[in-house]
Amino acid sequence: MFGRPNLYTSYEQESQIFSTWTQKVLAAFGILLLFLLPFDIPAITTKIPGTGWLADIPVLGRVFSWSIGDGIPLVRFLGDADWLRPMTTVFMLAIAALGLNILSGVAGQVSLGHAFFMGVGACTGVFLGGESSEALYGLGLPIWIWLPGAGIAAVLIGIIVSPVAVKLRGLYLAIVTLGLVFVGIHLGNTSWGRKIAGPPALGRKYPELDIRLWKEEDPLINVSDDGRWLWFDVTDAQKRYLLYLVLAIAFAFVAKNIIRSRTGRALQAIRDRDIAAEVMGVPEFKYKLIAFAISSFFAGVAGALFAALSGQILAEAFGLFLSVEFIAILLIGGAGTTSGTLIGTFFVVMIPQFVEEITKWLDKSEGPIGGTVGELILTDGSGDLGVINTSTVTPGWTLSVFDWNIVLFGVLIIVFLIVEPLGLFGIWVKVRNYWKRWPFSY
């Protein structure tokens, strides 16, 4: 088959997500690693001589300082509380992003309203799962009702707006869905909205993730307290991580299946040529509706998980910035692909962490490299060359580290799109093509 390294022996094999043995092993290893990541696993007990400098490198240093110091291996770094929550956030956002990818990446219906559907999910979750009081509505139902319920409610709202949405194209749709975000936040100000989402600017406590059969006292599986699972001691944060990881894998699997099956092709066809698609037998309205519904479902569930992660729901959290973050995820990862979406989510969530780590490292390091670079770009506002201000108030024209974090997010979007409009996935394809010399020899 045209000089490709991967030879398939059957269409069945070719249709698998991980179609070769190498891919299967790598994927299994990766997933296993993700499951082990939050735990401390002592393995190497002696220090490796001559590797002290590794600890000086940001991010990596965190990893190596452990393995060098106490002989705790690489995977320990998530054991630090400050990495666990961001990784959990990655899983939660990935679910939402996968949904948006089906709507915007695959079906080409660009939506800036994803945050709104997440909000709908979060509100439904708290309505179904939360406790009621004189100022608040709540039914106190168990998680297996409120989590899917969050998705379903988002789908229903999605269906209500779809008659307008399906008619619109391109940026018109983007802006109308943007309007949904504003409308959604506004609903939190109505007398009935605040009974669900809690008062504006204060919010409301979110139901816990404990898995109960019904409303009984003792949960079937306790997720909200530290405890023991099998032979591991697991903290509540680690439990939540594992729960979110399992959900993220399940949703990724579903998303991938939709994309690679009949429905996915129909959606792509509509994205590329809508009239032609219709003439080829793909009913446009129906499939746009399906795309909207799937995307809303993912968003709704993710929204509930979002609020559960904060332990609290706040209408303002589901604003424009969140929607923009999703668009950035899709574009940075590479729209239309499941793996790109996952990578993109990781990237967007983790970038600020890395930036912070690096500035901190620069600020502290005195060494030949770190020290000089640090001196060049950091300043305490005393008028030297630096552009990153280490103090919190920013006299003059320099920005503080914290501002830089936001600026960098913006700059990253810009630079990424300029350099590689196809996103990380595009870079990956290019790299792969160099090796495969595809499709022509050069």
Partner 1 sequence: MIRLDRDNVPLLFLIGALIPTTIFLVIQAVNDPALFLETLIKALGLGAVYALIALGFVLIFKATQTVNFAQGALAAAGALFVSFLVADEHIPFTTVPNPLINIGPEWLGWGLSVLVALIFAALLGLIIERITIRPMVGEPLFSVAVITLGLEIVLRVFNNDTVKTEFRALEIPWGNGGTTVGGAFINYSVIAALITAVVAFVGVFFFYRSKTGIAMRAVAFDQEAAMAQGINVGRVFAIAWAAGAVLAAIGGIFATQPPVKQTGAVEPETANIAFRALPAVILGGLDSATGALLGGLIVGLAEIFAGQYAAGESDWLGAGYPVIVPYIVMIIGLLVRPYGLFGTPEIRRV
Partner 2 sequence: GSSDGDDGASTDDGASSDDSASSDDDAMAEDEGDDAVAEGDILTGLGVDAENKVIRVGLNADLSGTFAALTTVIVEGQQVFWEKVNAEGGINGWTVEPVVLDNAYDVPTHLENYDVMSGDGAESVVMLTNSTGSPHTAAISEALVDDDLLAIPLSWYSGWTDPTIGQNVFEVQANYCIEAMNGVTYMSEQHGNKVAIAGFPGDYGEDGSLGAKVAAEALGLEIVYDGQAQVIPGADQTPIITGIVESGADFVWLTTGPGQTAEIIGGAAAGGYEGQWAGNSPAWNPALLGTDLGPVLDASYTHSTYTTLWGIGDSPGMKDLIDTMRELRPDAIADDVYIISWIEGLIAQQVLEQAISNGDITRAGVLAAANEIEVDLMGLAPNQSWGGEPNDSIVRGTYLYDIDASVFTPDGTVTDDDANRGYTLLEADYVSPTAAEWDYEPCFKAE
Partner 3 sequence: MLEIANLEVVYNEVILVLRGLSIEVPDGQIVALLGANGAGKTTTLRAISGLLDVHEGAVTKGSISWNGEAIAGKKPSEIVRSGITQVMEGRRVFAEMTVDENLTTGGFTIKDKAATAASYDRVMELFPQLGERRSQTAGYLSGGEQQMLAIGRAMMASPKLLVLDEPSLGLAPMLIEQIRDIIVDINKSGTSVLLIEQNAMMALSIADYGYIMETGKIVMDGEPAKLLADDDVKEFYLGLHSGDDTEKKSFRDVKHYKRRKKWSS
Q: How many residues bind partner 3 (CB under 8 A)?
A: 9
Q: How near is the Cβ of 12 to partner 2 at its closest, in Å? A: 43
Nearer CB in complex with partner 1: 169/437? 169
Round to whole Å and give the CA distance between 404 and 417: 19
- Enumerate helices (H) and strands (E) in the chain, giving the number of each: 17, 7
Structure tokens that stand for 309 in this block: 């992660």
Stretch that binds partner 3, among 114-122, 291-299, 366-374, 427-435 (CB under 8 A): 427-435
Stretch that binds partner 3, among 29-37, 335-343, 344-352, 429-437 (CB under 8 A): 429-437
Q: How near is the Cβ of 73 to partner 1 at its closest, in Å? A: 38
Reply yes or no: is the peptide bond before residue 439 cis, omega within 30 of 0: yes
Residue 392 binds which entry of partner 3, partner 2, partner 1, none, CB below 5-8 Å type-dependent: partner 2
- The runs of H, that is alpha helices, within 101-199 are 114-129, 143-167, 170-187, 193-197
Rg of the chain on CA atoms, in Å: 24
Compute CA distances 166 → 64, 101, 106, 276, whole Å: 52, 17, 15, 17
Q: How near is the Cβ of 301 to partner 3 at its closest, in Å? A: 38
Interface with partner 3 in residues 80-119 (CB under 8 A): none
Q: How near is the Cβ of 271 to partner 3 at its closest, in Å? A: 19
167 Cα distance to chain centroid: 29
Round to whole Å and give the CA distance between 83 and 77: 7
Residue 414 binds which entry of partner 1, partner 2, partner 3, none, CB below 5-8 Å type-dependent: partner 1
Binding mask 153-192 for partner 1 (x = CB under 8 A): ----------xx--xxxxxx-xxx-xx--xx--xx-xxxx
DSSP helix/strand/coil, 197: helix
Compute CA distances 4 → 63, 266, 339, 432, 433, whole Å: 38, 28, 22, 12, 11
Nearer CB in complex with partner 1: 320/350? 320
Q: How near is the Cβ of 340 to partner 2 at its closest, in Å? A: 24
User: Pick from 414, 435, 439, 441: which binds partner 1 (CB under 8 A)?
Assistant: 414
Structure tokens that stand for 432 in this block: 């792969």
Residue 199 binds which entry of partner 1, partner 3, partner 2, none, CB below 5-8 Å type-dependent: partner 2
Query: For the chain, what's the residue count?
Result: 442
Residue 312 binds which entry of partner 2, partner 1, partner 3, none, CB below 5-8 Å type-dependent: partner 2
Compute CA distances 95 → 298, 316, 357, 395, whole Å: 6, 20, 27, 41
Residue 80 binds which entry of partner 1, partner 3, partner 2, none, CB below 5-8 Å type-dependent: partner 2
Q: How near is the Cβ of 106 to partner 1 at its closest, in Å? A: 14
Under the binding rule (CB under 8 A), the answer on residue 105 touching partner 1 is: no
DSSP per-residue letters across 55-82 = GGSTTHHHHHHHHHHT---GGGGGGSHH
DSSP per-residue letters across 347-372 = HHHHHHHHHHHHHHHHHH--SHHHHH
Residue 21 burial class via C-beta count within 10 angstroms: exposed 0-12, middle 13-18, buried 19 and up: exposed
Site residues, partner 2 (CB under 8 A): 47, 52, 55-56, 61-62, 65, 69-70, 80-82, 84-86, 89, 133, 135-136, 186, 189, 194, 198-205, 237, 306, 309-312, 314, 317, 364, 391-395, 400-403, 405-406
Locus of tokens 């983007």: 174
Residue 439 binds which entry of partner 1, partner 2, partner 3, none, CB below 5-8 Å type-dependent: partner 3
Q: Which residues bind partner 3 (CB under 8 A)?
A: 430, 433-434, 437-442
Q: Which residues bind partner 1 (CB under 8 A)?
A: 110, 163-164, 167-172, 174-176, 178-179, 182-183, 186-187, 189-193, 274-276, 279, 320, 324, 327-328, 331, 394, 397-400, 403, 406-407, 409-414, 417-418, 421
